[in-house]
Chain A
Amino acid sequence: MTRLTFPLSRIEGHARVVIEVDAGNVLASQFQAVELRGFRHFVQGTPAEQMPVIVPRICGVCSTAHHVASVKALEHLYGVTPPRLACDIREVLLLGQLIQNQATSLFIFTMPDRANVESVFHMDESEASKKQQLSIAQRALKVRKTGTDLISLAGGQFIHPVKAHIGGVSGGITREAADPMIMELEAMLPVACQLFDDYWAMSMAMVERIGSWGDDEPTYYLASTQANKPRFNSRELRVMGPDGEERASFAPSEFDTYLEFHETEYSYAGSTTYQGQIMRANSLARINLTENLGTPRADKYLKRFTSSFGKPAHPIMLFDLCRGIELVYAMERCMEMLSEDLNYMDPKVGYIPRDGIGYGLVEAPRGPLIHRYVVENGLIADAQFIIPTVHNMRAIERALNVAGKRYISPTAINTELENAVGRVVRAFDPCIACATQ
């Protein structure tokens, strides 16, 4: 037996892929997450109310999702309902993170695969083009910066936000602060759309070359945004079958009735299944579970997507296109929300701490994220982080198997395999810092 090891790059965190081959037959594919910091263990004993400051450090890319999930878990535990205004401001915060993440995944992680370069910072561009509209890298960084600027505006700090408090948020968004942000979004939306149009065209060209958008079988899908006008500050999870039928919806507190967690010997991240079945979370799952997004440009892209690929759509490289649709949606939706008054009341109510078990759910860029805290004597007795990337682990490995079989024969290994491994993994945009914590 031969073990082919592929180091990974242009993903968040440290991981590698191992494909086991025997006489040209692919035996198994392993996605190995090779880091571990141990948040679940070292937060034990922490005063519960300090969790919203500590857990964003699980991941600098997904920090906002952890910050809000943490606050929601404690609100659930203390039995407090935040005001509507606070929920809206948290939505802006989560959409800011979505912009930042989807722009990074599209233009920095996966566009180089389409342009056949090792990095967006090393793209082959003419000086004339750069002079006219800045380099692709600079435009990509500016688009993603609108996301972090939104996080600063709604969250206080730009990477590890501080403004979501138990019972609400620490302050509203004034008109003076909202207006320049709307102007920035207005200026950057056409730039994002143009980059996405180019990305879509480059993807079509790549698929022409390699012959497939992904030929793995359909799976189940998991998301927590609702069917119309998605909300990332979400309340319940939904499961769709491979046939497009909705199979279940459940509250975060019921997750272990529906999802099974499996430890994995070869990786510091485990995997989850839905009633024994492989599932996918992240952009493609959300788009499959969405009827309309409710903003004009994004719905136009959604229509184009559905008429090209059907519904539900299954090939895995469509995850990438769905990220672009969501990028456009999040920018448009933030402009709408910031046009409304987000400073009309004190966005926070009081609370009385108590012991118990609490669950907090948000739709993170990679799928539904749940924090579960057990609090005894005001201290964390146990914390569980139910991470979207972990829901995708089995789907990633099965897709790697398919890629392996496509490019490995008894007589040769096609050198395209290494590229295929990168494309498969990046389609799922896994976050290893989160998956292992």
Chain B
Amino acid sequence: MSAADTGLPKFAILQLSGCAGCEVSLLNASEWVEKFRLVYMPLVISTHHVPHEVEMLLVSGGVRNNEDVYNLKQAVKHVKKVIAVGTCAISGGVTNLGDRDEVREVFLSQSGRLHLPQMLSKTHPVDSFVDVDLYLPGCPPTPELFMAALQPDQGFKASGIVCGECGRRKLTDMRPKHLTGFQSGKAQPDICLINQGYLCVGTSTRGGCRAICTRAGHPCVGCRGPSNSFIEKESSVWLENIQRVFERMTDIPAGEVNEALRSPQLSMFLFQFSDYAGGTHHPRSKDKVL
């Protein structure tokens, strides 16, 4: 191998239980290929252990079974910096929709199977087991955000909230009376989706994604997590803020907004920070979130 030791900074990617969307996003950026040496990422490299002297370990996916626990604890041993990437690594992600008794039973009933990893009763975030130096939220984070995480000194700039990157205009004289379902209506261009009755949470979701969903006419579901103003607080504070925005901009009954915020497609993202820091942990510090 010609490039065995190139002197480039080394990084590694550990994929726990997840969808590989984060990995696919990283592969969408090709800028890192000449700047870093990727030493471990089973999706694309046939190496079965994280080597020593790795600058950065990116962990994607949640901790779903005992093999995930083992692989995670082994992987962090000799790395300088651990980065939790994506909603699943930060909170458990979409599988938290199964964090209820009847679904837990299903997983625990699998535990007698021979030769297979043992299921935990729920999916845990990475920092339930190891210390994390940086959180990179997003489902998945965009390639630009991956590059920003890999190169912290390159001066990545983002708006505090998705609204700042969206470009749609907020109107004062367009006050919907009810929510427009995500599947209904046709989003008009250039006008704020809240004015059009969509349950968009971009007003308090952290920026950096360049508002790709809202620009395409789909309301923000909050996959980047809350902005710095809310990130160290309970999710209820974030949800109250979203409700206040809807009170100010619309005539939609509060109960309607409240119920919709707790529906699965939003709740899988809206509870991802402080609520999943775990019982004894302090909330994750905003200084550690990109």
Contacts and interface: CB of A to CB of B under 8 A. Distances in A.
Decide if A and B are genuine partners.
yes
A158 B146 CA distance: 14
B7 to A, nearest CB: 15
A348 B185 CA distance: 9
Nearest to A347: B186
Interface in A39-57: 41-44, 46-47, 49-50, 52-54, 57
A160 B4 CA distance: 35
A283 interface: no
Given A36-B110, A42-B95, A46-B264, A171 B217 contact: yes
B64 A36 contact: yes
B1 A59 contact: no
B255 to A, nearest CB: 16
Interface in A153-169: 155-160, 162-163, 165-167
B212 A266 contact: no
Interface stretch (B13-21, B124-132, B157-165, B280-288): B13-21
Interface stretch (A142-150, A300-308, A366-374): A142-150
Nearest to B100: A42
Contacts of B38: 119, 121
B186 A7 contact: no
B183 A42 contact: no
Interface string B43-80: 11111100000000000000011010000000000000
B48 A60 contact: no
A157 B216 contact: yes
A49 B183 contact: yes
A219 interface: no
B106 A138 contact: no
A139 to B, nearest CB: 9
A422 interface: yes
Contacts of A37: 17, 64, 94-95, 98, 123
A58 interface: yes
Contact of B187 (A7, A47, A54, A170): A170
Interface string A2-19: 000001111111100010
Contact of A121 (B45, B187, B212, B217): B45
Contacts of A135: 33-34
Interface stretch (B24-32, B200-208, B225-233, B236-244): B24-32
A9 B45 contact: yes
A249 interface: no
A162 B17 contact: no
B93 A122 contact: no
A100 B25 CA distance: 11
Nearest to B141: A159
Interface stretch (B113-121, B169-177, B246-254): B113-121
A52 B218 CA distance: 12
A108 B212 contact: no
Chain B interface extent, by class = 35 or more
Contacts of B83: none
Contacts, number: 210
A294 to B, nearest CB: 29
A282 to B, nearest CB: 18
Contacts of A9: 42-43, 45-48
A180 interface: no
Interface in A20-79: 32, 34-38, 41-44, 46-47, 49-50, 52-54, 57-61, 63
A197 interface: no
A162 B181 contact: no
A27 to B, nearest CB: 15
A34 B30 CA distance: 30
A433 interface: yes
Given A108-B44, A265-B114, A422-B46, A157 B64 contact: no
Given A35-B117, A60-B22, A60-B140, A47 B216 contact: no
Interface string A82-106: 0000000000000000001000100
B131 to A, nearest CB: 24
Interface in A169-201: 170-171
Contact of A50 (B67, B102, B119, B265): B265
Contacts of A350: 184
Given A9-B45, A422-B46, A165 B183 contact: yes
Given A59-B21, A141-B29, A267-B116, 15 more contacts: A9-B42, A12-B43, A34-B67, A35-B64, A53-B221, A57-B21, A60-B18, A60-B20, A104-B27, A144-B28, A156-B218, A158-B142, A160-B139, A171-B186, A266-B115
Interface of A: 7-14, 18, 32, 34-38, 41-44, 46-47, 49-50, 52-54, 57-61, 63, 100, 104, 108-109, 112, 117-122, 124-125, 135, 137-138, 141-142, 144-145, 148, 152, 155-160, 162-163, 165-167, 170-171, 265-268, 346, 348, 350, 422, 433
7 contacts: A37-B17, A37-B94, A42-B97, A44-B103, A53-B221, A138-B34, A163-B216
